[in-house]
Homo-oligomer: A and B are copies of this chain.
């Protein structure tokens, strides 16, 4: 596979007005492990996440995106991308480093989503009681809830998709894997990646016209049954399921969307969809002004997506 300067999604920070309930959701229901707590933040990881954390939860008055952190492919790749970001005016400068990683270069997308790029990471070291004899597993599979394995991707709402999509491609080197084009040729969705995954980031038009909102963060199970298991628990414990389990045509994801108690939408990913190994991949384009593409791209099978899927993001729109 050809080279990318961005290697992977490293972690995501979300804000929550209900830190205890949000913690219960990720820790007790999704079985994530707490690495550290500091100030108003808790750092968590799935049991197959290799670094210090993949999720940072920070208390705040409203739900929303803190930031999205990407790991560069090498120190040189980091340097290359920082130069590009600096010269484009998107850059906001270096951060000293948070718990779990070294210096990070902060920047914003045209819509204003805050992102960071970094190279140095702290690998999670399990204490003896949590070590797994499975050597590629950084810690034992937890005995709580339906434990997610690792962070998978993020999805950002955009006032306009095209400039944000171009930003990810031109400034960061992502490839466009799938795309949705609506009425009058307007781009309404884009799925981009730096690996055989169909996307590490999705961009979708915000039906409310708002700027810079967050749609969801996704964690990976890899097994369809685990979405049923989690759905069963959500109904039993009063967690609201927005949609799914079902299969999108776009990305072929076997998905479920739920709202964690603080208000952030979380996607659970029940299989691997498909992987792109073709180095000469031609973007899959869905023309959603056309009924068949609209229907098949959105829901390949499973119930329809509710209106909120297109209008709700974090922070919520003030009324």
Contact = CB atoms under 8 A, between A and B. Distances in A.
Interface of A: 1-4, 7-9, 28-29, 48, 50, 71-74, 77, 132-137, 140-141, 143-145, 149, 178, 194-198, 222-226, 228, 231-237, 241, 243, 245-247, 249, 251-252, 254, 271-272, 274-275, 277-279, 284-286, 292-293, 296-297, 300-304
A260 to B, nearest CB: 15
A143 B141 contact: no
Nearest to A295: B133
Contacts of A279: 7-8, 71-74
Given A28-B143, A233-B143, A134 B1 contact: no
For this chain, the copies found in one complex come to 4
7 contacts: A2-B77, A48-B274, A134-B252, A135-B296, A137-B252, A224-B225, A232-B247
A39 B231 CA distance: 39
A235 to B, nearest CB: 5
Given A144-B144, A224-B228, A245-B302, A134 B235 contact: yes
A97 to B, nearest CB: 17
A142 to B, nearest CB: 9
B74 A274 contact: no
A236 B140 contact: yes
B1 A135 contact: no
B2 A272 contact: no
Given A144-B144, A236-B134, A241 B7 contact: no
